[in-house]
Structure 1
């Protein structure tokens, strides 16, 4: 089962170099990144960023083996 990695507004500010939430939202939307509106600005996931870049994240399920 894959772990979801959240990217918060502060991390998005550092990544995209926009300070205002509206600018971040516009940038994310322009680049096809799905996001949610959080209290302080947009929030997304690493998977959403990868999908917008055309990178495919393979879901691998690990079976639990009892010995």
Structure 2
């Protein structure tokens, strides 16, 4: 993100899971967080069904305040 940009949307692309019950894990490092701003991270897991419609399958949000 440039400077103190308010938001960023990033698509990690397609991940193919061959069966149910799998864990999707990813690592992320946030750098140059603007001091005193609350920062939130949202992860949305979706699936494309057999009709080609996107279905939300999971959502996780994390928020944190950095600096003073």
Q: TM-score range by the shorter chain?
A: under 0.3
Which structure features the higher share of helix residues?
1
Higher relative CO (Cα under 8 Å, sequence separation at least 6) belongs to 1
Greater share of strand residues, 1 or 2? 2
TM superposition score normalised by structure 1: 0.26
